[in-house]
Each structure stands twice: as C-alpha cells, then as structure tokens.
Homo-oligomer: A and B are copies of this chain.
Amino acid sequence: MHDLDRIAEAYIAAWNETDAGRRDVLIEQAFTADIGYRDPVMQGDGREAVATMIAGVQHQFPGFRFALNGKPDGFADMIRFSWIFGPDGTSVIEGTDFAAIEGDRLKRVTGFLDKIPT
C-alpha cells in the first residue's frame, strides 16, 4: 500500500518551499524524474519544469501557501487529493489533483480547479 498521506504532504511541501535549493530536494522526494504535470494553466515535464512552475506560482502569489483539503484517497497506483491556496492557510483558490504514483513518488499529475476568485 502506498502511504497516500505522505505522498500528498510531500507534494504540498514542495509547492510551499521558497528556498530554491531546499525546494529541489523536496521535488526530488515528491516526483519521479519523468514527472509529467498539467493543470488548466500550466504544464511541464521533468523535475526542472516543476521547479520552474512552482517558482512562478510563488512569484505570482507571494505569501500564499498550499494546504491539503480533506484526506487523500486512492487505489492501485492512483491518488486523488484536494488543496486550498491562500495567505496564512486561507482559501483563495481550491483544486483537486489526481495522479499516478510510481514507488512513493508522483509520476503524472493532472490538476483541476475547484474554486477561483470571481
């Protein structure tokens, strides 16, 4: 069995780390080398692309942080988890990611938006 909580938490931690060096370590822990990521506004392949996307989001939303929303669930090699994103643990944007897992890392992530500012 995959540790779904730990996998989702590793993903959130990578998105929240603003120090580039520490973030690279967290990205290595959270994603496979051939990670493919896509959501309605971004897409990229490989850990370097993920690092660039995360840095871009942090630049666009300074002070915002991600937090898990509810409990991850999954089966076989699939995981689903929802998140909130905002300053100080508030929710400005919400989304749900589903992903394929390889070992204890995310291999393909597809993100959908559940709530966007109106």
- A residues sitting closer than 8 Å to B (CB atoms) are 38-40, 43, 73-76, 78, 80, 96, 98, 110, 112-113
Name the contact of A38 in the complex, choosing from B43, B78, B80, B112 (C-beta under 8 A).
Answer: B78
Q: Would you mind naming 18 contact pairs between A and B with Cβ atoms under 8 Å apart?
A: A38-B75, A38-B76, A38-B78, A39-B75, A40-B75, A43-B76, A73-B112, A73-B113, A74-B112, A75-B112, A78-B110, A78-B112, A80-B96, A80-B98, A80-B112, A98-B98, A98-B110, A98-B112
| Residue of chain B at shortest CB distance from A79 | B112
Q: How many copies of this chain does the complex contain?
A: 2
Q: How far is the CB of A73 from chain B (nearest CB, A)?
A: 6
- Report chain B residues within 8 Å CB of A96: 80
